[in-house]
Amino acid sequence: MYVSYKWLQEYVDLSGVSPEELAEKITKSGIEVEGVETLNEGISGVVVGYVQEREQHPNADKLNKCLVDIGAEEPVQIICGAANVDKGQKVAVATVGAVLPGNFKIKKAKLRGEESHGMICSLQELGFESKLVAKEFAEGIYNFPQDTEVGLDALEQLHRDDQVLELGLTPNRADCLSMLGVAYEVAAILGREVKLPVSGVETSSEKAADYIQVTVDAKEDNPLYVAKVIKNVKIGPSPLWMQARLTAAGIRPHNNVVDITNYILLEYGQPLHAFDYDRLGSKEILVRRAKDGEEIVTLDDAKRKLTADHLVITNGENPIALAGVMGGANSEVQADTTNVLLESAYFIGGPVRKASKDHGLRSEASARYEKGVDPNRVRAAAERAAQLLAEYADGEVLEGSVEADSLSVEPAVVSVTLEKINRVLGTDLDMKYVEDLFSRLQFETATDNGTIIVTVPTRRGDITIEEDLIEEVGRLFGYDNLASTLPIGSATPGHLTPYQNKRRMVRHYLEGAGLYQAVTYSLTNELKATQYALEKREPVRLAMPMSEDRSVLRLSIIPQLLEILKYNTARQNDSLAVYETGAVFLANGSEELPEEREHLAGAVTGLWQSHLWQGEKKPVDFFVVKGILEGLFEKLGVTSAVEFRQSEKEGMHPGRTAEIYLSGTSVGFIGQTHPTVEKEYDLKETYVFELSLKAILEADVPPLQYVAIPRFPSITRDIALVVDKEKAAGELESIIKEAGGTLLKEVHVFDLYEGERMDEGKKSIAFSLKYFDPERTLTDEEVVKAHDKVLDAVKEKAGAVLRG
C-alpha cells in the first residue's frame, strides 16, 4: 500500500511529524514502511506554459517550433519533438536552468539552427512511472486543464509536492489497504483523532429501484450487494488532485467515473465497480456461480473460460463481471456513457482468490477481497462514491440503493485479563494505561474486575482472541520498552545426543583427514537419485516438479559429490576430496512418509599428496580412502566388527570395489568409480564411498575401558606365504588370527610380492605376528606351539606354502 502523506493529512493531523518520522513510528508499531519516496525529488524550474504558436521546424520534419508563454515578460521559443504539442495547450515547461530527474539540467540550446529556451515535458520526464500516465498522454507531452494559470510551479499543479510511504503489509493487516485504515493506525500511534470524510448528496426524485433489480443466488459468496444508479454523468478527466492521489497510490487515471471508483477503493478499502447502465442489456443484476464452460471477456480484453468455482455478476443471463476481480468488457464505462450502475458489494475471499488464481488476474479489488474487507463500509463507500460522481461527473444520483442483503455483522467481543497481558509481555502495565491504548485504537472497552472487555470494530477482522489484544498492547506500548530477561524455571541440561556428538566427531575427523564438507541438494534427477543407491528402491517423486533435474529425492549422495569434483576440476582444481552427511530417502508407499536415512559419502580425485619441490606426487588410490575409513572405524570403536569384501557394483570399477560389512550386515561400499563414469564427469581416477551413517553411529560399542600397558615383552614372528593370486589377504589374516589363539595379539601385512620371481598365478604375502601374554613372559616353546598351529592352518585352509 502506497500512502500519500498529503492525502493522509485529510484524516489525521500530522503536524509536527515529518514523513520520515511517521515512517519510523509506523514501522516500530507494526507495519514495516519499506520506503519513503519524494515525488518531486530532484526537479526544479518547471512551470505551466501556454503554447501561443506552433509551427513546423524549418529544418526538421519531426520537430515543432513553439512560442510559449511561461509567465515571463516575453514568451520564449522552444523546440519540441512531441507529436501531440499544439497551439493553445497548457503545458509543463522546464525552463532554462531547470533540473529534471537524473540531474538533467536544461540549458539554452540550438536545435537544427533554431534556438530553444527550455523543454516542454512529458509526465515521464517529470518522474512519473510510464504505467501510471493516463493513456492520452502516454506517448507525448502532458496537457494541463485550460483553466490552469500560466507561470505557476507545474509540479505543485500536479500535486507532486508530496511524499509517499510504502507500507509492507502482512496478511493480517488488510485493514491498512485503505487510507481510512491507515488513518486509524496512525491516529492510534500518535494519539490523535481520525477525521472521517463527510458524505451526503442531494438525490433526484427518481428511485434507483425503478431502474434495477438485484438478486443474489450465491448468498454465501456474496452476503451483501448494493447498487446505486447515477444518471447523466459527463465522462471527462477527474480533477488533478484525484489523479495525483491515484498516481501516488500506483493506480493509473482513466476518466472521472473510473477514477472515482478507484479513489473510493483507496479511501475505504472497498472495491467498487461502475457499469454502463445502458450496456447492461437488462434491468437486472443476478449474482451467481458461473456455469462450467461459460465465458466472459474482461476489461483487459481477454476471453476467460469460467467454472462453477467462479462467482459472476450477470445481467440475468450473461456474465458482465468476474465478481471481485474485474469487470466485463461488454458493460464497460466508455467516453459516451451517460448512466452508471454503481456496485458496492461484500464478496467472500474464497471464490475471488480462486478466480484470481485460475486466471492469473490480480487486481486492486481482488487483493482486498482475498484478505477480507470491512462489511460495515459497503454502504458508506457507495454513498461517498455517489457524492463524488455528482460533484465531479455532474451525475444525478437516484434516490436510494437497491440491495440484496443476507449479511449479519456483529463486532467481535474479546476479553483478556490485565494479569495475562503482563504475564505474556513481561510487563507491569496498569488497567488505565491499557484502556487508554485501546481507546487510541478507537476500540470500545469495558472493565470487569481485572478483565478488559474489548469490542473490536469490524475493520479489524484480524483480532479474534486474547493474544491478538495482547499484541495490540505490546506493539503500541513499544517492544523497545520491554525489559530483557531470560526464562526462569527448572534447569534443563543442554546437550547433544550421543548420535549428534559422534556425527560432529565424524566431520572433524574427515576434515582433519583432508576432506572438505559439502552441502548439496536433496532433489535431483531420476538417474542420479538411484545410480549409487545402497538399496534399490523406487525414488520418492515430487507431484509437480519445477524441472526434471529437481524432480526426485536422492537415494545416494555420491552423484552430487561427483558433480562437485567435476565443477572444480573444470576450474583447475583437479585434486580434491569432499564428503557430505545428509539424508537419503527411501519410499515407503504413498501414504507413509519415506524412510530418511542419514548417509556419509565421500569422493576423492587427483593427487592425494604432493610436495612439489621435493618432487613428490602421489595420486589417490583405493588404500588411501580405505585408510581414511579404517581410521574412522577405529574412532567409532567398530574396527573389529567391520569387514571389507570384494564386490561389484554398477558404476564402479569391477576389480576395485569393496562392500563394507558391519557385524555381517552390508552398510555401504568403497571403491574406484568406473572409468566410463570418470570420463562422463571429466575426472581423473576417482574413489568414492558411501555408508549408512546411522548404522555406524548406532552400532553397539562396549563402554570405554582402560587396558593395562603390557609389562612383559612380546615375541614377533614374520612369515611369508606363497598363495594363489586370488587369495585375499583378509582371508589369510582371519585364518591366522583364528589359529593363533589368545596369545596372538597382533597380525599385520608387511610385504606383498607379485613379481617375476613368483610362479605363474602365485603371490607372496608376508605377515608379522606378535605374541604376548599380559600376565607373564612367554617361553619359546609356547610361541613355537602357537606359531606352528598358524602355519598348519594356512597350509591346510589356504594352500599356502611358507616362502624360503
Partner 1 sequence: MQERLKELQTEALEKVSQSANLKELNDIRVSYLGKKGPITEVLKGMGKLSAEERPMMGALANEVRDAITSGIEEKQKHLEEAAVHEKLAAETIDVTLPGRPVKTGNHHPLTRIIEEIEDLFIGMGYTVAEGPEVEKDYYNFEALNLPKDHPARDMQDSFYITEETLLRTQTSPVQARTMEKHDGKGPVKIICPGKVFRRDNDDATHSHQFMQIEGLVVGENIRMTDLKGTLEVFAKKLFGEDREIRMRPSFFPFTEPSVEVDVSCFKCGGKGCNICKKTGWIEILGSGMVHPNVLEMSGFDSKKYSGFAFGMGVERIAMLKYGVEDIRHFYTNDVRFLNNFQVHE
Q: Could you tell me the smallest distance in angstroms from the CB atom of residue 568 to partner 1?
A: 5
Q: Is 198 a binder of partner 1 (CB under 8 A)? A: no
Residue 262's region, left for phi above 0, alpha for psi from -120 to 50, else beta, is alpha
One-letter amino acid of 653: H
Q: Which is nearer to partner 1, 335 or 486 (CB)?
A: 486
Q: Is residue 635 a contact point for partner 1 (CB under 8 A)? A: no
Shortest distance (Å) from residue 667 CB to partner 1: 21
Distance CA 688, CA 605 (A): 9
CB nearer to partner 1: pick between 181 and 594: 594
Q: Nearer Cβ to partner 1, position 415 or 427?
A: 427
Q: E strands, 674-759, where?
A: 686-692, 715-724, 744-753
Of 307-315, 361-369, 521-529, 663-671, the segment contacting partner 1 by CB under 8 A is: 521-529
Q: What is the largest CA-CA distance in the chain?
A: 132
- Residues of this chain, 420-449, that bind partner 1 according to CB under 8 A: 423-427
- The residue (of 275 and 687) whose beta carbon lies closer to partner 1 is 687
Residue among 81, 53, 47 at smallest CA distance from 67? 53
Nearer to partner 1, 27 or 44 (CB): 27
The residue within the footprint of partner 1, chosen from 18, 56, 334, 517 (CB under 8 A), is 517
> What track of x and - describes contact with partner 1 for positions 123 through 152 (by CB under 8 A)?
------------------------------
**Whole-Å CA distances, 131 to 124, 127, 246, 251:** 9, 12, 12, 9
In the complex with partner 1, which residue's Cβ is closer, 519 or 709? 519
CB nearer to partner 1: give 15 or 492.
Answer: 492
Q: Does 630 bind partner 1 (CB under 8 A)?
A: no
Residue 16: burial class (beta carbons within 10 Å; 0-12, 13-18, 19+): exposed
Please state the closest distance from residue 25 (CB atom) to partner 1, in A.
Answer: 12
Give the DSSP H/E element, type plus range, for residue 79.
Answer: strand 76-80
Could you say which residues in the range 461-490 bind partner 1, by CB under 8 A?
A: 465, 467-468, 470-471, 474-475, 479-480, 482-490
* Distance separating the N- and C-terminal Cα atoms of the chain: 94
Contact between 623 and partner 1 by CB under 8 A: the answer reads no
471 is in an annotated binding site: yes
Residue (385 or 510) nearer to partner 1, CB: 510
Distance CA 531, CA 650 (A): 8
Do 734 and 798 meet the contact criterion of CB atoms below 8 Å apart? no
Query: Total number of residues binding partner 1 (CB under 8 A)?
Result: 91
Q: How far is the CB of 309 from partner 1 (least distance, A)?
A: 13
For cell 536545435, the residue is: 111
| Residue 325 binds to partner 1 (criterion: CB under 8 A) | no
| Binding test (CB under 8 A) with partner 1, winner from 613, 640, 702, 757 | 613
Q: Is 512 a residue that touches partner 1 (CB under 8 A)?
A: yes
Say whether residue 18 binds partner 1 (CB under 8 A): no
Is 711 a binding residue for partner 1 by CB under 8 A? The answer is no
**Least distance between partner 1 and beta carbon 490 (Å):** 6
How far, rounded to the nearest angstrom, does the alpha carbon of residue 639 sit from its chain's CA centroid?
47
Phi, psi at 95, each rounded to 5°: -80, 170
Within 526-555, the residues that bind partner 1 by CB under 8 A are 540-546, 550, 553
Pairing of strands 213-216, 284-289: parallel
Q: Of 535, 521, 538, 524, which is closest to residue 587 (Cα–Cα)?
A: 538
Q: Is 430 annotated as a binding residue?
A: no
Counting contacts by CB under 8 A, is residue 742 touching partner 1? no
Cell numbers given for 273: 465497480
Binding-site string for partner 1 from residue 165 to residue 184, where x marks contact by CB under 8 A and - marks none: -----xxxx-----------
Q: Which of residues 332-361 bind partner 1 (CB under 8 A)?
A: 350, 353
CB–CB of 640/630 below 8 Å? no
Residue 334 backbone dihedrals phi, psi, to 5 degrees: -125, 180
Instruction: Decide: is 521 part of the binding site for partner 1 (CB under 8 A).
Output: yes
Stretch that binds partner 1, among 135-143, 207-215, 242-250, 495-503 (CB under 8 A): 495-503
Among 527, 603, 606, 611, which Cα is nearest to 572's? Answer: 606
- Cα(219)–Cα(771) distance, rounded to whole angstroms? 94
Tell me whether residue 507 or residue 626 sits nearer to partner 1 (CB atom): 507
Q: For partner 1, which residue of 2, 10, 13, 28 counts as binding (CB under 8 A)?
A: 28
611 interacts with partner 1 by CB under 8 A: yes
Strand 616-619 and strand 224-231: the pairing is unpaired
Q: How far is the CB of 485 from partner 1 (least distance, A)?
A: 4
Q: By CB under 8 A, tell whether 573 contacts partner 1.
A: yes
- Interactions with partner 1, residue window 363-392 (CB under 8 A): 370
Contacts of 424 (CB under 8 A, 6+ apart): 467, 470
Residues found in the chain: 804
- Asked if 104 is part of the footprint of partner 1 (rule: CB under 8 A), the reply reads no
498 counts as binding partner 1 under rule CB under 8 A: no
Cβ atoms of 121 and 143 within 8 Å: the answer is no
Instruction: Indicate the burial class of 753 (C-beta count within 10 angstroms; 0-12, 13-18, 19 or more).
Output: middle
Query: Footprint of partner 1 on residues 29-68 (CB under 8 A)?
Result: 29-32
Task: In whole angstroms, give the CA distance from residue 187 to residue 205.
Answer: 40
Identify the sign of the CA torsion 239, 243, 246, 248.
Answer: negative
Question: Which is nearer to partner 1, 9 or 551 (by Cβ)?
Answer: 551
Residue 205 touching partner 1 (CB under 8 A): no
Per CB under 8 A, 708 contacts partner 1 = no
The answer to the question of whether 472 is labelled as a binding residue is yes
Instruction: Give the distance from CA 699 to its chain's centroid.
Output: 41
Q: Which residues are annotated as a binding site for Mg(2+)?
A: 462, 468, 471-472
